[in-house]
Structure 1
């Protein structure tokens, strides 16, 4: 049986091993590697299948959100049944990825990445991959990466354009070097404001995976060491050399990790593509979802699984996660969102 398993593994990766820069030694390195993917939306659903199928030994999927119909146009791991059930993205993705490669250990974290959990979720891997849609989380990733000396892949895609870079602490600039320390406060295009088409997502995500594979297999000389921008609609492609870390950078040179040390919990408005407000409680919680489902059933139709609970109130519905975080769907008013959270969740 063991010999059959080894033979199956050899056949699975045979075409990748034939690629000389990887070869048997590179494949062995991939099989021993650990990667965390932050965000299982559009980019994450391009990145995760490629890494899992390539044989990266451990992949942690981190995502706070659920699957909705507007996701299906570009988030290629999910289907209509997932959207109808409002499944947690990380959990649904893991289920499908396990069917693609049972040799890979896939860990699921259905949670919001915050200063409270960022180090515990990111500091034990070889590479962090950004599949998020906001700069606040990217700055948090950058802090953890610099603090613990972990390379990370930055990627963003909206409309028809996208940008990517592979950061290596002490070897390249960090995110703060490039964009300054105050870019995590909003004002950037999102898929909710300018839309997004699938081809740019596929291209940026694949470019991120290529850099991750180069690094994990020891092909560091092949890394692009550039900040790359492309627009698939306007036929544009340009790149800028990253160079060295910036002198006096407050993050990578002075080692001030402001996103980690700010210790801010707050309200996130406008989850990408719909009228939804996220309410995050001020301290870490563990919510007994089965008990909460029974409590809320008198107010509306309730469905729950080990990861989340959904209660439909008609025009408004609530998705509650086990960590106390909630998505209030169907409204845009922050005050009303907090009021509904206090009224129904009571924490």
Structure 2
């Protein structure tokens, strides 16, 4: 059989030695949507030795325009994303060892899967999970590559524990309610641009060429023809609770997590965030999705076949389901 990696080996920064290193490494991708599937395909084609993919969701038709590993039949059968992805990836490269886990990622559930992982790629869809991931990987000293996209915009940054600013340094606290794919949509090229940055940075880390890593935060808007790299070195905070001299890893604390419970007999799930909700900001954001009603104490709206009620103290009620997984999916679609 001809050498499938011959063209990659001809690229001098990788070469034969770099290719061998790629084949010895283990990457975990958290999230198996648009960013996750594209990064996974790139890495499997590049010859990654072992790939772990984690996601809690299943394939839907609305995924197909940007999540390249999935087919219409996957959506019809509501196949879990990691199962569908694993099947396609093994057809692409039978030599790659692929582990797939249908899992709601928490600090507790994720930790066992990080043993002997060389790198983590962020392909999540919410900042609750990202901040938890940031603290956990700082604690375990595992590098990771942040990425996000919505509309025609995106950004990416490579985080090296003890060296670069962490996500907490960059954002300081969980950001206000922002745009989501369900409120402003997304175009596939924005996904591919973020993935190009994430996969390239991953390959540099895999072959241990840290001198070539991009030290800046990259942001872009493809539709408006904007591309920017930002030097964030000064953002590193020695007092940061997630990566500073006396780190306490606050987002690993149970009190900082988003909690869910089924309300008995009401076909309703309650989600309690760790922070208060700014109702005016949220109302302005939700108007992009549908009609919003409020009274100064709460906001309510009909979304798909559900009624969603947001309280200022951080509670949200999802009426119309007793599935925690479904409720969390709706919550993150709306809140971001």
* TM-score normalized with structure 2 length: 0.77
1:297 — aligned with what? none
1:242 — aligned with what? 232
Query: Secondary structure of the equivalent of 1:116?
Result: helix
Alignment deviations for residues 55-77 of structure 1 (CA, whole Å, 9 cap, x no partner): 11010010011111111111111
Query: Secondary structure of the equivalent of 2:74?
Result: helix
- Change in CA separation of 1:341 and 1:17 when aligned onto 2, cut-off 3 Å: closer
Pair 1:259-2:251 in alignment: yes
Alignment deviations for residues 177-200 of structure 1 (CA, whole Å, 9 cap, x no partner): 1101334xx502110111100001
Deviation beyond 2 Å, 4+ runs, structure 1: 121-124, 262-268, 277-280, 329-338
Post-superposition shift, 1:122?
2.8
Query: Secondary structure of the equivalent of 1:145?
Result: helix
Take 2:173 and 2:104, find their aligned partners in 1: how far apart are those partners?
22
Post-superposition shift, 1:171?
1.2
Alignment of 1:120-139 (within 5 A): 120-139=112-131
2:306 — aligned with what? 331
1:168 corresponds, among 160, 182, 187, to 160
- The RMSD of aligned alpha carbons is 2.2
Query: Secondary structure of the equivalent of 2:132?
Result: helix
1:197 — aligned with what? 187
- The answer to whether the Cα contact below 8 Å between 1:42 and 1:201 also exists between their aligned partners in 2 is yes
1:296 — aligned with what? none
Identify unmatched segments of 5+ residues in structure 2.
262-267, 272-303, 309-316, 325-336
Pair 1:92-2:84 in alignment: yes
1:45 — aligned with what? 37
Pair 1:228-2:218 in alignment: yes
- The answer to whether the Cα contact below 8 Å between 1:39 and 1:130 also exists between their aligned partners in 2 is yes
- The answer to whether the Cα contact below 8 Å between 2:269 and 2:319 also exists between their aligned partners in 1 is no
Take 2:251 and 2:116, find their aligned partners in 1: how far apart are those partners?
19
- The answer to whether the Cα contact below 8 Å between 1:123 and 1:148 also exists between their aligned partners in 2 is no
- Change in CA separation of 1:85 and 1:22 when aligned onto 2, cut-off 3 Å: same
2:143 — aligned with what? 151
Take 1:85 and 1:17, find their aligned partners in 2: how far apart are those partners?
40
Query: Secondary structure of the equivalent of 2:319?
Result: helix
Query: Secondary structure of the equivalent of 1:221?
Result: helix
2:276 — aligned with what? none
- The answer to whether the Cα contact below 8 Å between 1:173 and 1:242 also exists between their aligned partners in 2 is yes
1:12 — aligned with what? 4
- The answer to whether the Cα contact below 8 Å between 2:269 and 2:318 also exists between their aligned partners in 1 is no
Query: Secondary structure of the equivalent of 1:78?
Result: coil
Take 1:226 and 1:48, find their aligned partners in 2: how far apart are those partners?
23
Aligned length: 276
Take 1:12 and 1:37, find their aligned partners in 2: how far apart are those partners?
24
Take 1:232 and 1:341, find their aligned partners in 2: how far apart are those partners?
37
Query: Secondary structure of the equivalent of 1:239?
Result: strand
Take 1:331 and 1:93, find their aligned partners in 2: how far apart are those partners?
29
Pair 1:80-2:72 in alignment: yes
Query: Secondary structure of the equivalent of 1:27?
Result: helix
- Change in CA separation of 1:123 and 1:241 when aligned onto 2, cut-off 3 Å: farther
Post-superposition shift, 1:265?
5.4
Take 2:253 and 2:64, find their aligned partners in 1: how far apart are those partners?
36
Post-superposition shift, 1:120?
1.4
Take 1:214 and 1:59, find their aligned partners in 2: how far apart are those partners?
17
Query: Secondary structure of the equivalent of 1:240?
Result: strand
Pair 1:60-2:43 in alignment: no
* TM-score normalized with structure 1 length: 0.75
1:284 — aligned with what? none
